[in-house]
Amino acid sequence: MNFSPDQNELMARARADLRMGVPVVVDGPTPLLAATAETLNTDRLGTMMALSQDAMLVVTARRAATLKAAAYDGDLARVKLPRDATLAWVNGIADPAGDLMHPMKGPLSCARGGNVETHRFAIQLAKAARLLPAVVCIPLEHALSFAAEHNLVYLSAHSGQAMLDASSPLHSVISARLPMEVSEAGRLHVFRPEDGGEEHYAIEIGKPDRAEPLLTRLHSACFTGDLMGSLKCDCGPQLRAALAQMGDEGHGVLLYMNQEGRGIGLANKMRAYSLQDQGFDTVEANHRLGFEDDERDFRLGAAILKSMGFSKARLLTNNPRKVAMMCENGIDVTERVPLHVGENPHNHAYLATKVAKSGHLK
């Protein structure tokens, strides 16, 4: 009998530890002790710097572009921590909140050469934990014994990265009847991934014929738009219009994916909103934070539809990437059904940016 957590379960622990500010040990070609800048405290930063002269702050090339730091590793930059670096210094590099007030951060010296597989995995782990992708790292010689001695999570970068790339299998947990305003014949299904990540939901309206193309909406969670009636986006009106159309037609499935803020989480989305108040658009704001424009994994939606027995969809969306990802993952999109609702003076520029920069269709 073995109760020890496997690599998948250790990844979930690692995300939770990073969110609390506890470092994790990442093994690979260059073993590291890694802690996310956003949650690290002064004590632990001091201990890391005392253990090594070679502490670094790893950021994405997106963040490095704003910092004018050299991204010698392509998608990453390893900024060397000066010996007198403080937590405020680290946070100033990691978080763009103060960029306009304190634009001169440099000169920043960046490492080059060597294998960065472990660094890259640490950044991916920070993103998976919905934290800013900025990680303080020090090299370790005896990774496994260091982890055991300090009771830290120990991960292999190689197999951990493969798990992140694969996207976790989802399992149906429960479904129950949910009479709704748009249709009394509603049913809510809950799906849970194996990796301890966010649950996702499918709202089934009526009894859709599994052999026919299904009216579907692949909707990403937007707390501000869906629940608060925010005028900054079109999510709330899109959610309600999609459900209303399914109610009118008598059947459909709305996939409600807990991928808030295009997969960066609500805290980071609010950071992006704060940058938007400084004049940056939705794409620029994501980049300044160190993220790609869109960090969502659209494969999950296709996996849920397939597990419910569907293989053809009429997809309610203006986003051609959603159509492409559905098709690549085994759902034949027989029709794209446009969903243009909820434009207002506050979201006009946001919608225009989606068309100009993110490939959305008018």
Ligand X SMILES: Nc1nc2c(ncn2[C@@H]2O[C@H](COP(=O)(O)OP(=O)(O)OP(=O)(O)O)[C@@H](O)[C@H]2O)c(=O)[nH]1
Instruction: Give the residue with the Cβ less far from Zn ion, 110 or 351.
Output: 351
Q: Is 264 in the site for ligand X (CB under 6 A)?
A: yes
- In this structure, the strands spanning 252-257 and 214-220 are parallel
Interface of this chain with Zn ion, residues 223 to 252, rule: CB under 5 A: 225, 233, 235
- Residue 217, annotated as binding a ligand: yes
- Residue 83, annotated as binding a ligand: no
Stretch that binds ligand X, among 33-41, 63-71, 246-254, 315-323 (CB under 6 A): 315-323
Residue 27, amino acid: D
Residue 30 C-alpha from the chain's centroid: 25
Q: Is the CB of residue 138 less than 8 Å from the CB of residue 48?
A: yes
- Residue 238, annotated as binding a ligand: yes
Residue 241: both structure tokens together: 């219009």
Q: Of 126, 155, 360, 153, nearest to 265 (Cα)?
A: 126
The CA-atom distances, in angstroms, between 266 and each of 114, 131, 234, 261 are 35, 10, 16, 6
Q: Is 221 in the site for ligand X (CB under 6 A)?
A: yes
When binding is defined by CB under 6 A, the residue of 130, 189, 262, 288 that contacts ligand X is 262
Instruction: Give the residue with the Cβ less far from ligand X, 39 or 220.
Output: 220
Greatest extent of the chain over all pairs of C-alpha atoms, in Å: 66
Stretch that binds ligand X, among 97-105, 121-129, 182-190, 262-270 (CB under 6 A): 262-270
When binding is defined by CB under 6 A, the residue of 22, 203, 222, 323 that contacts ligand X is 222
Residue 187 binds: one of Zn ion, ligand X, none (C-beta under 5 to 8 A by kind):
none
Q: Is 233 in the site for ligand X (CB under 6 A)?
A: yes
296 is catalytic: yes
C-alpha to C-alpha distance for 205 and 246, rounded to whole angstroms: 7
CB of 315 to ligand X, least distance (A): 8
Q: By three-state DSSP, how is residue 167 classified?
A: coil
Residue 261 binds: one of ligand X, Zn ion, none (C-beta under 5 to 8 A by kind):
ligand X
If you ran DSSP here, which 8-state letter would residue 98 be given?
A: G
- Residue 47, annotated as binding a ligand: no
Instruction: Give the residue with the Cβ less far from ligand X, 55 or 235.
Output: 235
Instruction: Give the residue with the Cβ less far from ligand X, 36 or 282.
Output: 282
Contacts of 68 by beta carbon, 8 Å cutoff, 6+ apart: 106, 108
H helical segments located in 98-156: 117-128, 143-150
Which burial class, exposed, middle or buried, applies to 50 when counting CB atoms under 10 A from its CB (0-12, 13-18, 19+)? exposed
Q: Is 272 in the site for Zn ion (CB under 5 A)?
A: no
- In this structure, the strands spanning 110-111 and 170-177 are unpaired
Q: By three-state DSSP, how is residue 286 classified?
A: helix
Residue 120: both structure tokens together: 């890259």
When binding is defined by CB under 6 A, the residue of 235, 303, 305, 325 that contacts ligand X is 235
C-alpha to C-alpha distance for 53 and 55, rounded to whole angstroms: 6
CB of 238 to ligand X, least distance (A): 5
- Residue 221, annotated as binding a ligand: yes
C-alpha to C-alpha distance for 96 and 124, rounded to whole angstroms: 19
When binding is defined by CB under 6 A, the residue of 282, 288, 290, 323 that contacts ligand X is 282
Instruction: Give the residue with the Cβ less far from ligand X, 124 or 286.
Output: 286
Of 15, 63, 271, 296, which residue is the catalytic one? 296
List of residues contacting Zn ion (CB under 5 A): 222, 225, 233, 235
Which residues are identified as catalytic? 294, 296
List of residues contacting ligand X (CB under 6 A): 219-222, 233, 235, 238, 259-262, 264, 269, 272, 282, 286, 317-319, 322, 339, 354, 360
Residue positions forming the annotated binding site for GTP: 217-221, 238, 260-262, 282, 317, 322
Residue positions forming the annotated binding site: 217-222, 233, 235, 238, 260-262, 282, 317, 322
